[in-house]
């Protein structure tokens, strides 16, 4: 092995080969077939990654798991997400994943447009989501004809999917289903964004329209809002 070459940055071709290998292994694992990681690693070293060591390839696989985990997407169980992934490495790994169609970055881009947000959420909600999304601690205000905030579509999708069709305010089933079969619930930020609330799962709940309006307009809205913190364990009082 050429030690100096092993220390060099990975080329785009190498990164894309690693992503190809990873997605192949992930598909095997998700289909409940037996995954032989050592065999797949060897195949990669016999091809484009011939100048990379087994350990180097395994660590790159963990980098890919990190990116998938950040997107709340399933990753290979045997390749736990690596910690302290540098911004430069993360950007290049993510670019290789996009090039290979692992995900569409536009689906995850924050937006202040309600129609665009709901379109993104619809796509994300129909996927398998794992883990907890990072969200936005301080959503940016966007000025226009009305003042709105950049929101993370993954937060809304996660909250809706986690509710599983049950209102987190009253515990009743969603009032109806949408044409796509998904339950109709509305996501409410317990501490309003306009009051510097965070766009995080710890500050958002899925409510039926009645409970949502109750949070905003009822004469007991403060008491009802306070009850949400007792009812939903993940909520944190900001």
The Cα–Cα gap between 191 and 188 comes to 9
Q: What percent of the chain has pLDDT over 70?
A: 95
Buried b (16+ CB within 10 A) or exposed e, 32-62: eeebebeebbeebbeebbeebeeebbbebbb
* Ranges of the chain whose pLDDT falls below 50: 1-6
pLDDT of residue 146: 67
Strands 186-189 and 148-149, bridge-based pairing:
unpaired
Could you give the domains of the chain?
A: 12-126 (no CATH), 153-231 (1.10.30)
Contacts of 91 (CB under 8 A, 6+ apart): none
pLDDT of residue 145: 57
pLDDT of residue 67: 94
Strands 148-149 and 141-142, bridge-based pairing:
antiparallel
Picking from 64, 63, 44, 66, the residue whose alpha carbon sits closest to that of residue 54 is: 44
> Per residue in 191-226, pLDDT tens?
999 999 999 999 999 999 999 999 999 999 999 999
pLDDT of residue 3: 36
pLDDT of residue 2: 38
pLDDT of residue 1: 37
Q: Let me know if 71 is exposed, middle or buried by CB neighbors in 10 A (0-12, 13-18, 19+).
A: buried
pLDDT of residue 174: 98
Q: Phi first, then psi: give them for residue 65, nearest 5 degrees.
A: -60, -35
pLDDT of residue 85: 74
């Amino acid at each position: 092995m050429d030690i100096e070459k092993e220390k060099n940055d990975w080329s785009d071709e190498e990164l894309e080969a690693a992503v190809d290998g990873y997605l192949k292994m992930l598909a095997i694992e998700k289909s409940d077939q037996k995954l032989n990681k050592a065999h797949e690693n060897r195949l990669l070293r016999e091809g484009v990654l011939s100048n990379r060591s087994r350990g180097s390839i395994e660590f790159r696989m963990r980098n890919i798991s990190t990116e998938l985990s950040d997107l709340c997407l399933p990753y290979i169980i045997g390749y736990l997400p690596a910690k302290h992934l540098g911004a430069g490495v993360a950007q290049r790994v993510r670019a290789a994943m996009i090039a290979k169609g692992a995900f569409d970055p536009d689906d995850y881009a924050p937006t202040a447009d309600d129609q665009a947000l709901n379109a993104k959420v619809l796509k994300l909600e129909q996927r398998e989501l794992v883990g907890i999304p990072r969200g936005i601690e301080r959503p940016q205000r966007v000025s226009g004809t009305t003042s709105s905030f950049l929101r993370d579509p993954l937060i809304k999708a996660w909250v809706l999917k986690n509710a599983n069709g049950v209102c987190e305010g009253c515990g009743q089933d969603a009032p109806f289903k949408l044409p796509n079969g998904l339950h109709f619930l509305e996501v409410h930020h317990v501490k309003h964004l306009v009051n510097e609330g965070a766009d995080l799962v710890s500050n958002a709940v899925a409510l039926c329209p009645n409970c949502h309006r109750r949070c905003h307009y009822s004469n007991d809205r403060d008491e009802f809002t306070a009850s949400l913190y007792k009812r939903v364990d993940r909520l944190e009082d900001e």
